[in-house]
Structure 1
Amino acid sequence: MLVFLTALVFLLLGFVLAAGGAWLLTLGGSPFYLFAGIMMIITSFLLYRRKASALAVHGVLIVVALVWAIYEVGFDWWQLAPRGGLLIVLGLWLLLPPIRRHLRSSANPAPDRGATAWPLALPVVAAIAVAGYAMLQDPRDLSGELPAARVEKAAFGGNVPDEEWHQYGRTPYGQRFSPLTDITPDNVGSLQVAWQYQTGDVKKPEDVGETTYQVTPLKVGDTLYLCTPHNWAIAIDATTGKEKWKFDPNVGLNPDRQHQTCRGVTYYRSPEATEGSPCAERVYLPTSDARLIALDAGTGKICEGFADRGVLHLNQGMKYNPAGYYYSTSPPVAAAGKLIIGGAVNDNYSTKEQSGVIRAFDIETGALVWNWDSGNPDQTAPLPPGQTYTTNSPNAWSVLSADEALGMVYVPLGNQVPDQLGMGRSENVEKFSSSVVALDLNTGMLKWVRQFVHHDLWDMDVPAQPVLFDMRKQDGTTVPAIVAPTKQGDIYVLDRRSGEPIIPYKEIPAPGGAIPEDRTAPTQPISDLTFSPPALRERDMWGLSLIDQMMCRIAYHSYRYDGRYTPPSLQGTIVYPGNFGTFNWGSVAIDPERQVMFGMPTYLAFTSRLVPAAEMPEKGKGEKGSEQGLNRNEGAPYGVYMGPFLSPLGIPCQAPPWGYVAGVDLTTGKIVYKHRNGTVYDMTPLPLPFRVGVPGIGGPMITRGGVAFLGAAVDNYLRAYDLTTGRVLWESRLPAGGQATPMTYRASDGKQYVVMVAGGHGSVGTKPGDYVIAYRLP
């Protein structure tokens, strides 16, 4: 009976592989799966006949599979495993005595006693030996050491004491760099939890899918200021973690909001106010119902002298104003006596949405000082009554940076919605989409623009806060620089005075073949400093077994894919890098003294498929309006289905690693190291600690002590890395997803603390929570 059941398993697997392999072969794919299916069917037949030659046939299949796998992927264990794992397990099963003793050879009708096992045993042993060798290799790893020499008098931006953290990236430069040195590679392994605070703001069943906790707290004096996904503002004691005050703006729930999150608040101290006077120190809170609220930093009470009794309504001046379609998920930048803020516009909901206008308000009064609307870029004076901003113009949903000395604010811009449809875009949209623009801090007038995607059809908006630092070039000169990470993986390093490249970039040919109503740009830029991955090939498809890997190969050939910037299609298109981007809002961290960068490049392919409006299902039938599912694009000729490129088992179709940590020497423009980051501990039913290199979303932080900190990965850990080598020095299990950016400070007890928020991320499915956790050395 056992042999019969084994024969049945081989028969079923063989038919699946043969049928799928034949389909794959008709698409121009590998013939191996058809061959494997036929061999398994033959093995099944021989097992049914109790023939010992079944062992030899399966041995031949293992040998062929081994040669084929090494030819395709070399000694990459994570790629070899799905190609041979199932076959080796089946081979070991066939070698078990309960199977072999029922088999007979044609030369000897007596039951097999082991003499005929070697044609299978040798291939199995060879395959296991190759697997063992491959486990000790990592062909995807790049090792190296960042330089340790420091430049003198590096600029951090802003007047922020070393022990504090005043803006989202610590200063208006957005470096995510702390000058503190207490924590070092030698002692970071001793970090332990100092205190833990729970906000009480937890994800609700009726919340939108992308309810996420992405905040980086600020530290001023001995107080931390933060916000929560439902836009509560909270002040807690930096030394003890005790709550000082809490403010709930009562934003309510709206199913039309694409995001329910808050990345941070903005702190301001008035130079004119007397010590202890009300609202001398303020915290500005952006909300998901399009308000900006001024709060007294000491009490949490509304500062009624600001705007309309303490509340600035950001939906002013919009031609269309559907509730839930516009809000600011990121804190405004405070510079030159102004609050400068953009706004998130729902992706792909409608052609009649709010404007992506950038506005500067007087930080004391809330009066509008200037507005820069990319659809009307020359009119920066406040709009007169009755005039409205340009509908659906490219927006800035991420964090802005500022250089008060140069008098400029730097704005990362997205795309005009619908993201995948480029018909009818204006000249200004074509000029400003997917770019960084530099605006005059005092007037809002355009200083320069540098575009990173032409005629963007892939939602490749510039997602990250640009980072400012003064770059020491190899010839010894210093240039004020701006570093702009992009979704497609390019790192653009520009002179922030003019936008001219410091590290060169070039234009390369891009795929054509857009839908008849649209067009594509003939070329696209690519930086000499890039984390953009090579184009996917069929052999890059992955799976937990031969079968789901085969299905991914079939899917690969079923979509349209001509490499980076393959245009959207009715057939369906692979988008790689995908919509989450190689870099996202977490940006990168820069040590301005060592002139090095630390970041977390992520690789996850997406797919998109255009749907004619006439074929759109009824409203309410499964649309998501986000990175996954149906985006309706009301008023446009097409909607779009999109989401990660996944196997039938729900894992990425492309082979790992899906996430790295990386170090860059900015002086040379070279990537020095790149290591797999994160495990599948929280991605599988069993808590397996395999360091595959997993996706993540969030940002890094580095210190003068030579340590980098990063959560972000989907395995719910906060990790410390040696900045010089990128190797993990310490890790701490988080009680929920850590998709935020850590920060550090020195408290009143003289200790350096590292703080991480753990609350999960709706889009990547990590565990929700409401934790704020502080670590310090004992």
Structure 2
Amino acid sequence: MARVTGVLFILLGLALAAAGGWLLSLGGSVYYLLAGLAMAATGALLRRRSVAALWLYALLLLVSAAWAVWEVGVDWWPLAARLDVLFVLGLWLVLPWMRRALEQPRVGTRPSLTRTRTPGMAPARGALGFVLAASAVLAVASWFRNPQAIDGNLQARAAATPAATDAPAPTIPPGEWHAYGRTGEGQRYSPLSQIAATNVDGLKLAWEYQTGDVRGKPGDPEETTFEVTPLKIGNRLFLCTPHQSVIALDATTGKQVWRFDPQIAGDLALQHLTCRGLSYQAAAVPAASGNAATAQPQPAVAAAAPEPARPGAGTAANPAPTTAPTDAGSTQDNANASALPLPVAARQGPTAPSCPAKLFMPTADGRVIALNPDNGAVCADFGRGSGQIDLWRHMPNVRPGAYYSTSPVVVTARLVIVGGTVLDNASTKEQSGVIRAFDIRTGDLVWNWDSGNPEDTAPLPPGRTYTPNSPNSWSISSVDETLGLVYIPMGNQPPDQWGGRRSEAVERYSSSVVALDLATGRVRWHFQTVHHDLWDYDVPAQPTLVDLDMGGQRVPALVQPTKQGELFVLDRRTGQPLLPVTEVPAPQGAAEGDHTAPTQPRSALSFEPAPLTERSMWGATMFDQLACRIAFHRLRYEGRFTPPSEQGSIIYPGNFGVFNWGGIAVDPQHGWAFTTPTYLAFVSKLVRRHDETTLMVQEGGPPKGSLPALNENFGAPFAASMKPFMSPVGLPCQAPPWGYVAGVDLRSGQVVWKHRNGTVRDLSPLPLPFKMGVPGIGGPMMTAGGVAFYSGALDNYVRAYDVRTGRQLWQDRLPAGGQATPMTYTGEDGRQYVLVVAGGHGSTGTKPGDSVRAYALPAVPQ
């Protein structure tokens, strides 16, 4: 036993010493070399059955514990990565059979029968046992400490701010949810208060609906996701599925009312297959004078109607159009043939001759379809009889599926405003990122703003196309109709990681928030969140509009979360910062043919993570942690905004983002924000291209079917290999926590509380409920009851939190990943419901599903 154990120690020690020597040669810690030599020496002594092995190993464990505390303090997960293997091996050495194996046999007797007490055995075992006990005490002590946490109380920091006396009356009933963020302001805040911090733990599942739409169908891209936030209008819920079905449910019972299949075109070059939500135009209610010009929207949907007939023909209630529909667009548009042979919604039936109210559904083949919310019929009075807008009109580089709107469109009293996503890093010949506004009644093009040609916003004449490859807006926009502005979160020009050929116009608006005039489409102001973006730091989240009391004045503000962790708080009239923004020096030295910006903007309100160091590296054991330390020194890393390189650069935060499309939730009465920051490092490596056709970074081989070859950057000098910074066993190389919930006072710019969130139950091979703080994607929602809800963490739970302190109040297990933003509403029974979509996310690998779940407090007996 002693000899076999000795061989094991020698092998482990030599491996540790060899890797430790490599680390030391890279400028890293000497500890692993010395620890490996001590472990190998322990093994040699064990083979000789020397008690000195116990003394040497006790010293190794003692020094290792002291070194670990010196490196990371009393913090359980970093300590465990450094000491777990050593502790387990130490336990093995003090077990009874190891004591017997080390005792020397009497002379002339069989070793298995008679052994003598070896001198010094008891003190050696006692010393090792003492160090093991001390290490266990250190571990237990670390369980009760959370050095990364911030404890505080928003209520104690600032009293409630009363609403402005001249604030307009709400146009949306309190129990409804009319847009992705409930309103066009994107606050994700509900005035409902029936569910409160005092009773939220009583929430029960009220109903569950399964759409039948689950990822994994032929032709699905990896990033097939169920990210929808439903609308609630009248007693109807309206949602869309990953494969583009539109569904209406009874909001109180969850029963299906109608379903529409847009029959999207096949063989699409999709990078994403998702639908984050629908958009709603309320029916206009004529003013008392009968003047249609002063008509006001009616925020209600008609009573339940029969489910429409199957696609194909009209019904008595929904007659088919009497004239053949044409493709959607303005008069100028109709002069051009459609760029693609798209399906025509009005030909798929059923149709409604007119739709006083409309739902707008963006499809994966590049259309926006108008539907009657009463029955799901296609609106024949829209799009010149087609019931849709063709987003491929005037678009360059036509490739089916390579361009469409993954996010709900913006709806105003007279416009439908549409952005779209292009393929990231596929080529330098992608579609335009143009933003277009269409007449909400007819679908005719009113204006177009192309960041590659920003001054010309008039509809393009026949024969012209928009600027190829210009920055796009794939996320959700916000609107302030009183100011006459729509706020567009912009991405950058592909390729993301190399920008040596970007034009001045492209550079100006990349990774910016752009305020466009609703009447003309012209730029009123813009604010750039990243200069010369080389990190895929698109502005990912919907700008949140909220009025804040600052400096004794009530100011119309815009809060913009970013992937790099900033919360920029701007005056939404002018784009000027309300909280200070400073320009900080950034690392230099871009790849050949490119350059880096000398500085980058930083907000006074920032969730920027601390820079990584060798001490930040982590793993399941000291061995994979050592591998991460070696990788850290071999890669280029000079802090945030380290440029991508042929060597390989650590990008932290990675392009997953501290904040992504889920954004934040804001309480407009108090000026509080509930946020869900995520921290994951990525590795970005530029791979020199030899030609414009060879696949350079497709590790799994060529893509299947019509799916695109991502990150190849055809036409650029470099392809890009991008992946999370992971250990050899598939764990993040940076130490946890990786995900938090945090409460912010927007007026002062203070992060008042911050707590790790989520467990590794659904991320580890064994269902271990360790609360390590896991990444998340999807947004939070807040209520006037002082409760926030969030389901986006990469474990399958929906959770409720006390907004004031961040304390978790309730959770429920979901049947699949909940990577969507919850919403809340009032049912016909008077109860407040919380609705959660659980369908998983292809890129994160969370469990797929198709569930829509509504929770409510138990009904009170009458």
- Indicate the TM-score class for this superposition, using the shorter chain for normalisation: over 0.9
- Corresponding position of 2:748: 668
Give the Å deviation of 1:666. Answer: 1.0
Q: Which residue of 2 aligns with 1:752?
A: 832
1:102 match: secondary structure: helix
CA distance, structure 1, for counterparts of residue 266 and residue 815 of structure 2: 25
Q: 195-204 or 147-156, which moves further after superposition?
A: 147-156
> Residues 629 and 643 of structure 1 are in contact (CA less than 8 Å); yes or no, is this contact kept in structure 2?
no
Gap runs ≥5 in structure 2: 107-114, 287-297, 303-351
Give the TM-score normalised by the residue count of structure 1: 0.97
Quote how far apart the aligned CAs of 1:119 are.
2.4
Aligned pairs for 1:263-302 (under 5 A) are 263-271=276-284, 278-302=354-378
Q: In 1, are the aligned partners of 2:424 and 2:710 still within 8 Å (CA)?
A: no
Matched with 2:347 is none
Match of 1:353 in 2: 430
Question: 1:151, 1:624 → 2: CA distance?
Answer: 57
Equivalent runs, 1:247-326 vs 2, <5 Å: 247-251=260-264, 253-254=266-267, 256-271=269-284, 278-308=354-384, 309-326=386-403
Match of 1:528 in 2: 604
Shift of 1:694: 0.3
Q: 1:40 to 1:689 in 2, by over 3 A?
A: same
Equivalent position of 2:618 in the other structure: 542
Match of 2:580 in 1: 504
Give the aligned partner of residue 338 of structure 1.
415
CA distance, structure 2, for counterparts of residue 13 and residue 304 of structure 1:
74
Q: What's the secondary structure of 1:539's corresponding residue?
A: helix
Is 1:481–1:493's contact at 8 Å kept on the other side of the alignment? yes
Partner of 2:99: 100
- Residues 102 and 111 in structure 1, CA contact (< 8 A), matched pair in contact too: no
Contact 1:331 / 1:399 at 8 angstroms: preserved in 2? yes
Match in the other structure for 1:390 = 467
Structure 1 residue corresponding to 2:772, chosen from 692, 707, 711: 692
Aligned counterpart, 1:642: 722
Asked whether 1:180 is paired with 2:188, we answer: no
Give 1:27-426 correspondences, 5 Å limit: 27-104=26-103, 110-111=117-118, 114-147=122-155, 149-153=159-163, 159-206=171-218, 207-251=220-264, 253-254=266-267, 256-271=269-284, 278-308=354-384, 309-426=386-503
CA contact 1:156–1:173 (8 Å) conserved in 2: no
In the TM superposition, residue 256 of structure 1 has moved relative to its aligned partner by 2.4
Task: Report Cα offsets for 1:277-314 as digits up to 9, x if no partner.
Answer: 85222111111111111111111111122115112111
Alignment of 1:474-513 (within 5 A): 475-513=551-589
Conserved in 2, the CA contact under 8 Å of 1:224 and 1:235? Answer: yes
Structure-2 separation of matches of 1:343 and 1:128: 55
User: 1:70·1:80 contact (CA, 8 Å) conserved in 2?
Assistant: yes
**Residue 138 of structure 1 aligns to which amino acid in structure 2?**
N
CA distance, structure 2, for counterparts of residue 229 and residue 418 of structure 1:
26
State the match for 1:433 in structure 2.
510
Deviation at 1:687, TM superposition (A): 1.0
Contact conserved, 1:738 with 1:757, CA < 8 A, in 2? yes
User: Is residue 777 of structure 2 the alignment partner of residue 765 of structure 1?
Assistant: no
Structure 2 residue aligned with 1:586: 662
Superposed CA offset, 1:92-133 (max 9, x none): 110001001221489997447634212211211111111111
Q: Hey, what's the Cα distance between the residues in 2 that align with 1:158 and 1:83?
A: 56
Shift of 1:53: 1.1
Overall identity of the aligned pairs, in %? 56
Query: Quick one: distance in 2 between partners of 1:357 and 1:336?
Result: 21
Q: Which residue in 1 is equivalent to 2:18?
A: 19
What are the superposed Cα offsets for residues 526-578 of structure 1, whole Å, 9 maximum, x if unpaired? 00100001110000000010000000001101110000011111000000000
Gap regions ≥5 residues in structure 1: none
Q: Distance in 2 between matches of 1:11 and 1:620?
A: 40
Superposition pairs of residues 589-628 of structure 1, within 5 angstroms: 589-614=665-690, 617=695, 622=700
Equivalent-residue separation in structure 2 for 1:324 and 1:400 (angstroms): 22
Hey, what's the Cα distance between the residues in 2 that align with 1:232 and 1:5? 63
Looking at structure 1, the residues matched to 695 and 373 of structure 2 have their Cα atoms a distance apart, in angstroms, of: 49
Q: Which residue of structure 1 aligns with residue 307 of structure 2?
A: none
The answer (yes or no) to whether the contact 2:154–2:743 under 8 Å persists in 1 is yes
Cα distance in 1 for partners of 2:679, 2:744 equals 18
Which letter maps to 1:22? G
TM-score (norm 2): 0.88
- Change in CA separation of 1:423 and 1:624 when aligned onto 2, cut-off 3 Å: farther
Aligned to 1:677: 757
**Distance across 1 between alignment mates of 2:193 and 2:250:** 22
Report the Cα distance in structure 2 between the residues aligned to 1:91 and 1:183, rounded to whole angstroms. Answer: 52
Q: Is residue 630–residue 639 contact of structure 1 (8 Å, CA) maintained in 2?
A: no
The corresponding residue for 1:442 is 519
Of the candidates 658, 663, 669, which is equivalent to residue 738 of structure 2? Answer: 658
Secondary structure at the aligned position of 2:782 is classed as strand
- Asked if 1 retains the 8 angstrom alpha-carbon contact of 2:740 and 2:755, the reply is yes
Within the alignment, does 1:738 sit opposite 2:818 as a pair? yes
Matched position secondary structure for 1:5: helix
Match of 1:235, SS state, is: strand
Task: Please say if residues 412 and 435 of structure 1, whose CA atoms lie closer than 8 Å, have aligned partners that are also in contact.
Answer: yes
Cα deviation for residue 618 of structure 1 reads: 6.3
Pick from 570, 595, 602 the counterpart of residue 519 of structure 1.
595
Structure 2: distance between partners of 1:253 and 1:664: 45
Tell me, what secondary structure is at the counterpart of 1:514?
coil
Deviates more, 1:379-388 or 1:656-665: 379-388
Q: CA deviation at 1:152?
A: 2.3
- Between the two proteins, the alignment pairs up a number of residues equal to 775
Distance 1:9 1:247 in 2: 64
